[in-house]
Amino acid sequence: MALAAHAERGADYRYGAVALFMTTGAILAALGFQYIGGYVPCMLCLIERYAYYAAVPVLFVALALTSGSYRGLAAILFFLVALTFLANAGLGVYHAGAEWKFWPGPETCGGGESLSTTAGGLLNDIQGIKVMRCDEASFRFLGISFAGWNVVSSLLIMALALRAGLAASAGRR
C-alpha cells in the first residue's frame, strides 16, 4: 500500500519531467534547424515557439512545487501548460492547413528574421535573407512539415502536462 502511494506521488514528477524534456528538446531542435540548418522561420513558426518558451520555466517551477505542500499550485501550473499547448496545437493545425492549401494563410506572413538598422547591414540582410511564407513548407519529414510536427509535439506535451496535473491534484487530497 505504501509503495503504491509513493508511486502515485512520483507520477506527477515523471510526467512533468518528460514534458519539460520534450519542450526543451523541441525548442532546441527548432533553433538548431534555424541557425545550423539555415531554415528561416516564418511569422507563424515564430509565434508557435512562444508556447515552448513560456512552458520551460513554468514546468520547471511546477516540478519544484510537486514535492512540497504546494501540489495544488503545481497542478494549476501543469493545467495551464496543457491549455497553452492545446492552443498551440490549434495554431499548428491552422499553419499546416495553410501549407497544404486547405485555407489561406495570414496576409501579413513574410520572413521571420529581423533586419539590421545600419545601412551596410541592411543591404547585406536584403541580399542574404530568404523570405519564408507561412503557406509554404520549407521542409517535410515523413510527409509532415515543421508545422505538422509542432501539432504532434504540442499534443504530446499537452497530454503529459495534463497527466502531471491530474497526478499532482490527486496527491494533494
Candidates 110, 108, 113, 109; CA nearest to 125 is 113
* Per-residue pLDDT at 115 exceeds 80: no
Q: How many CA atoms lie within 13 A of 7 on its CB side?
A: 4
pTM listed for this prediction: 0.74
Range from 1-5, 99-103, 119-123 carrying the lowest mean pLDDT: 1-5
Range from 55-59, 79-83, 90-94, 143-147 carrying the lowest mean pLDDT: 143-147
pLDDT tens digits, 5-14: 444 555 667 8
Cell of 96: 499546416
Statement: 2-171 belongs to CATH 1.20.1550 = yes
